[in-house]
Each structure stands twice: as C-alpha cells, then as structure tokens.
Amino acid sequence: MKIIIQNISFYFLIGILVFASSCKTEEILATDYGVFSAQDANTAIMDGVIDSDTPVHWENFIAANPNIAKLIMKDCPGSEDDEANLEAARKIRQQGLIIHLPADAVIASGAVDLFLAGTTRTLETGSKIGVHSWADGNNKEATDFPIGDDNHQPYIDYYMEMGFSQADAEAFYYFTINAAKASEIHWMTDEEIARYKLLTQ
C-alpha cells in the first residue's frame, strides 16, 4: 500500500472509506467517476485517494469526456491498492495526456507513480511531490528485499513503460524506497525532481 496520511482526522476518513469499500456490493455506475471530475471539455481534475475502483472510474470518466487532453492533480495522497493504481495509470497513459501539478498540488506515494503516466509532465512552483518505501502488509517494507528481488520489478517495469530507461527507472525506484520509511514521507527537492527526470519540460 502506497499512501501517506497527513493527520489523524484524515486517517479516520480513510478508514471509513476502506470499510465502506469492503462492504459495498453494488456495481459501479457508469456515472461514477471517483477522484476524477471535468474542469472543462478538455481538462480533468484528479483529487483524492486512488482505490480499487479507480481504473473503472477512469474508464467511465473518459467515456463521458472523450476530449480530455490534460489532467490536473490536486490533493492526491496515495493509493489504497497498488495494482489498481498502476492499472489506472496505464489506462491514463493510453490517452497521451499532459499531467500538471498546480502550485497548491500535493501528491505522494502511489499518486507519484500515476503522475508519471503523463506523456507531458509539468508543475508550478509550490507543488509538492512525496515519496517513500512501500509496505506489504506483513511487516515488511521494500528495503527488506535485496536489490534485484522480484518484488521490486513491477514498479521498475512500469517506469520503463512510461519512457524511463532501465537505468533511470532503477535509479528513481531505489531512491524512493530509501528516501523514507513506509510510515514517513520525503518531499522531493527541485534538484531531485530534475535528477530523476520526473518532468518532461
């Protein structure tokens, strides 16, 4: 699970969301867009936590808004479901979108992975990008596995799909998991953002 919790009240809110998600049995409606909304005919807004339904929410959203060319990420603290996060990111990549972080954007953890789905990636001064290690739910973190272990490969493969060379993908991935423990967060500096090639311009 790749997510960063900002405060206790937000943690309580996420707990409620997870509980509600586990209890729901109804199908997702075609009008359910989850964290996505339309600013206008060409611009989407993403605001919230990525969950297991996010891939379907994106499909619903883009079906209803086929001219979307830009995605603006706002407050996106991470993902509750890493597999769903990468699935949604790959679907977003297929649209060939610009993904932009406005000055008040705060993205962290799995949301950073999704940001990399933009074919063009930009940000404004003031936006924050946070990274940390992942945890497997069994008291193990990414750094408990040796370099080259199969547990690391899904993320490295994903970064390469997003256009990173193998060397750059591995460099960024191992940077993230060593930057902070799963329970903590490291806010990337401008120098780090440039070094690990998060932006395209």
Q: What is the CATH number of the domain that holds 54?
A: 3.90.226
pTM of the model as a whole? 0.87
Mean pLDDT computed over every residue of the chain: 91
* pLDDT given at position 2: 62
What pLDDT, in 10s, does the model give residues 63-108? 999 999 999 999 999 999 999 999 999 999 999 999 999 999 999 9
Q: Does residue 104 lie within any of the structural domains? A: yes
Q: Does residue 58 lie within any of the structural domains? A: yes
Q: Which domain holds residue 79?
A: 2-195
Give dist(CA 159, CA 198) in Å, integer.
Answer: 10
Q: Does residue 200 lie within any of the structural domains? A: no
**What is the number of other CB atoms lying within 10 angstroms of the CB of residue 119?**
14
Q: Does residue 201 lie within any of the structural domains? A: no
**How many structural domains compose the chain?**
1
171-176: Cβ within 8 A, 24+ apart = 171/196, 172/196, 172/197, 172/198, 174/147, 175/131, 176/112, 176/131, 176/132, 176/133
Q: Does residue 173 lie within any of the structural domains? A: yes
What pLDDT, in 10s, does the model give residues 118-151? 999 999 999 999 999 999 888 899 999 999 999 9
